[in-house]
Structure 1
Amino acid sequence: MDKSIESRVNHEVENWLRWITRWRPATHRGRARLCRQCFGSPIVASAGLAVDVPHVVQHALSMRMKIVIDASVDEYTELNLPVLAHELNLSERRESAQAYRPAEGLDPEFRGLDLDPQPAADAPYLFTFSELADQQPPELRPAPAQSPATSASEPDHEHTDALPPLSPEEKVALKAEMHLADEFATQVGLRVCAQLAQQRPRLLAAIAQHVEPQVQALLADLESTLDSPLWPRNP
């Protein structure tokens, strides 16, 4: 396993610590459902951010750790799992043929979040980013064989038709390599969690310094605007 995983984690923690100094509570509508990336995440728990920490703060760290895990698994796959690497390369080429990818190129703290806010009942959307992102690009298949004269005069372009199905042997090999990739991802994830546990005092100190005061200020402001029939009224 790559010996630089710990250094990658430390690098992303430093990025998160710089980002947290600029964090401000959001004023727009909140999420309508739980984030599958953060809810119950061992990464968030190892960092000590599972309780009383705003989701956006959790998500920013979680997605940075996902970058570390994904990069390590990609490197392992390219070096050791040729069938899976080939299928993933085809998938990337299909995505590159897609006309619009709104989730691409976002900063880590925005990756994995809903592309669109919840619609208002009296203001339906003409279109949404999610609908555009769901548009399926055409499938890729290898270019048909060309005659020597044609191949000498024209470049070999890929065509966009359905790919031929995998053979039974290729399916068995692909399943075996996917299992190996999953096992490797689990090992990397355990190392990421162990490194985050060592970084926990710094992470919690940043929360106490930059996040908690803003949360308390929001609560104080909310309390000042609340009213109840059971509370004594000012004369």
Structure 2
Amino acid sequence: MKDAAGSRRSGPRGNTLVSVERSLETQVSQAVDAWLLWLPRWEPSTHRGRVAPCRRCLGSPVLSAAGLGSDVPHAVQHGLSTRIKTIVDRSVAEYTSLNLPMLQTELDQQSARNRSRSYRPGEGLDPEYEGLPLDPDPVPGAPFLFTISGLAAEADADVPALPPLSEEAKAALRQEVGLADDYANMVGREVCTILLHHRLRIQAAITEYVEPQITAMLDELTRSLDAPFDPHDPTV
């Protein structure tokens, strides 16, 4: 008599599940490897922080599974969460192409529409910048002459909208979107489970590359607060 795990992994469908799990394990491991290669190049930002939180990283179960808490700088978090999101998106895209023809058609039409835009500033970015706002937060009393997001919106307005759907098509599309969301949640949970096995090397990298820079920055801030004026400045 086979246990639940053995039953789930036996037969053609079970072999497929094992293959998917192994594929996810490989992809997550490669994503963590790429993030670890990038991390030594990270430096703390000195510009003004953003008012709006990052919707991709705030409360992310991926970051919780990786052991990256709120005390880790957002840029460090974002580089990993974006790489993991790419894995989930890729898995959902494959599932959609095989099982959800209506949603796939809608996505293909949207992709074709996006490719016809003359200006696409949000594409081809490194994972550390993907999904972040295209423009800095505005400064009161200092309006921008133009913004990257504004230029992108102008380019998008020149592209014809997609043809409208019938009510029946909308209902069918909503059903397929729901199935895609369910699959994305399933893959996300699996990815988080896999990430738990990488927590030690992720934390070791944070200790080696991130914490010393944060400590140095806080030490510099402390010195500047203790001595707000340059003692060598003859005008003081």
Q: TM-score normalized by structure 1?
A: 0.83
Cα distance in structure 2, aligned partners of 1:14 and 1:75: 23
CA separation of 1:163 and 1:54: change in aligned 2, threshold 3 A: closer
Aligned-residue identity in percent: 51
Is the Cα contact below 8 Å between 2:110 and 2:162 reproduced in 1? Answer: no
Q: Distance in 2 between matches of 1:5 and 1:86?
A: 26
Alpha-carbon deviations, 1:24-68, whole Å to 9, x = none? 111222112111111111111111102310010001101011100
Matched, 1:21 2:31: no
Which residue in the other structure is 2:71 paired with? Answer: 52
Consecutive unaligned residues in structure 2, runs of 5 or more: 1-16, 228-236
Render the CA deviation track for 1:73-129: whole Å, top value 9, x for unaligned: 011101111000000011111111211111110000101112111233454211101
Matched, 1:80 2:94: no
Amino acid at match of 1:9: V
Residue 173 (structure 1) aligns with? 172
Q: Give the match's secondary structure for 2:215.
A: helix
Greater CA drift, 212-221 or 113-122: 113-122
Query: Any conservation in 2 of the 1:29–1:117 contact (CA below 8 Å)?
Result: no
Structure 2 CA distance for aligned equivalents of residues 76 and 110 of structure 1: 27
CA distance in 1, matches of 2:108, 2:36: 34
Q: Quick check: 1:112 aligned with 2:143?
A: no
Query: Post-superposition shift, 1:7?
Result: 0.9
- Tell me if the contact between 1:95 and 1:137 (Cα under 8 Å) persists in the aligned partners: no
1:190 to partner: Cα distance:
0.3
So what's the TM-score if we normalise by structure 2? 0.83
The corresponding residue for 1:189 is: 188
- The 1:171/1:31 distance shift into structure 2, 3 A limit, reads same
Match in the other structure for 2:197: 198
Aligned partners of 1:176, 1:118: CA distance in 2, in Å? Answer: 37
Partner of 1:213: 212
Q: Unaligned regions of 5+ residues in structure 1, if any?
A: 140-159, 229-235
Three-state SS of the structure 1 residue aligned to 2:41 is: coil
